[in-house]
Amino acid sequence: MIGRLQCVVLDCPDPLRLARFYEGVLGGAVNRPDPRWFLDDDWATLHLDDGRVLAFQRAARHRPPRWPDPDHPQQFHLDVGVADLARARDEAVALGASVLDAGGPERSWIVCADPAGHPFCLVRE
């Protein structure tokens, strides 16, 4: 092993806004003091209750994915386990998400996009 994963970093146009969005989806604490990172207008963090960290980095020329368009690939996505898909979808939309693919009643996931356009899936646990 060479090292340990410190965090996952998402490029976006507004780091604090996206950190607050994911705080609403996943819980945790936005911009908790941490000597590993310098927090400013170009960088924000979300420390999750289980110790994992998401970070958000300003990309002035951010080009959001357009799922499922291969010319604008998703690059990565997060799967968020939920007990109730419909409720989770509604709460994510209220926080600023958009639904990309609602699927159907037989499917166990819904594809959404965060406010910066990154796809993520709400997955029934």
User: What mean pLDDT, rounded, does the chain reach?
Assistant: 91
Q: Give yes or no for residue 98 having a pLDDT over 80.
A: yes
Q: What domains sit in the chain, N to C, each tagged with a CATH number?
A: 8-58 (3.30.720), 78-124 (3.10.180.10)
Query: Which pLDDT value is given to residue 2?
Result: 64
User: What is the per-residue burial (b if ≥16 Cβ within 10 Å, else e) of 78-88?
Assistant: bebebeebeeb
Query: Which pLDDT value is given to residue 110?
Result: 93
Query: Which pLDDT value is given to residue 22?
Result: 97
Output the pTM of the full model: 0.83
* pLDDT tens readout for residues 23-76: 999 999 999 998 888 889 999 999 999 999 999 999 988 888 888 888 887 777
Q: Give yes or no for residue 93 having a pLDDT over 90.
A: yes
